[in-house]
């Protein structure tokens, strides 16, 4: 006899911060997605790109993450290393890149090539860029800390793009 395990849709929260509107979705104590830098709450929620969600909800996980995100946006030192994220959609290479990216300390940057090397694939800088571009957990997985080899910022997928990436890097220098 097999037992079917049904996953419930994730719950969502939308919060206003000094970095704009942030939306996130979670299931139990695991983050499913996070968006940031939106000018209105509906756009932030829509950017989660979820087909099905439960009504907005609260939990200890959501309350803790909300407080951490608010502190970070206000310029306080905040560590998201212990926030559990869903990695079911990641290949082994992508998972390795995400894990290494998570280790980049606040106030520091790595180039795409350096992150590729630390991930065990020194010639995969472009692939690392793609992993960063599709990061479902900005801030939690600090893709803004990954820059181009020539010193340029590279790219950033938030609504205001490189403007927000620069703002995040400047915020972490204070």
Determine the Cα–Cα distance for residues 123 and 112; give it in Å rounded to an integer: 10
Beta strands in 105-145 (DSSP E): 110-111
C-alpha torsion 166→114→118→76, nearest 10? -20
- Of 31, 97, 98, 143, the active-site residue reads 143
Residue 101 among the catalytic residues = no
Q: How far is CA 70 from CA 5, 15, 74, in A?
A: 35, 9, 6
DSSP character string of 130-141 = HHHHT-SSBTTB
Are the C-beta atoms of 66 and 78 separated by less than 8 Å? no
Catalytic positions, please? 143
């Amino acid at each position: 006899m097999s037992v079917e395990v049904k996953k419930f849709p994730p719950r969502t929260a939308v919060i206003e911060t000094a970095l704009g509107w942030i939306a996130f979705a979670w299931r139990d104590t695991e983050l499913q997605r996070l968006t940031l830098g939106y000018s209105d709450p509906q756009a932030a929620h829509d950017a989660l790109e979820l087909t099905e969600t439960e009504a907005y909800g609260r939990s200890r996980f959501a309350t803790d993450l909300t407080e951490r995100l608010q502190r970070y946006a206000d310029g306080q030192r905040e560590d998201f290393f212990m926030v559990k994220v869903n990695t079911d959609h990641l290949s082994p290479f992508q998972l390795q890149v995400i894990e290494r990216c998570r280790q980049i300390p606040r106030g520091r940057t790595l180039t795409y090539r350096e992150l590729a090397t630390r991930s065990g694939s020194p010639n995969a800088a472009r692939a690392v860029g793609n992993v960063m571009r599709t990061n479902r957990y900005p801030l939690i997985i600090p893709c803004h800390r990954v820059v181009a080899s020539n010193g340029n910022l590279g790219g950033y997928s938030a609504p205001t793009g490189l403007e927000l990436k620069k703002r995040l890097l400047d915020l972490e220098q204070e």
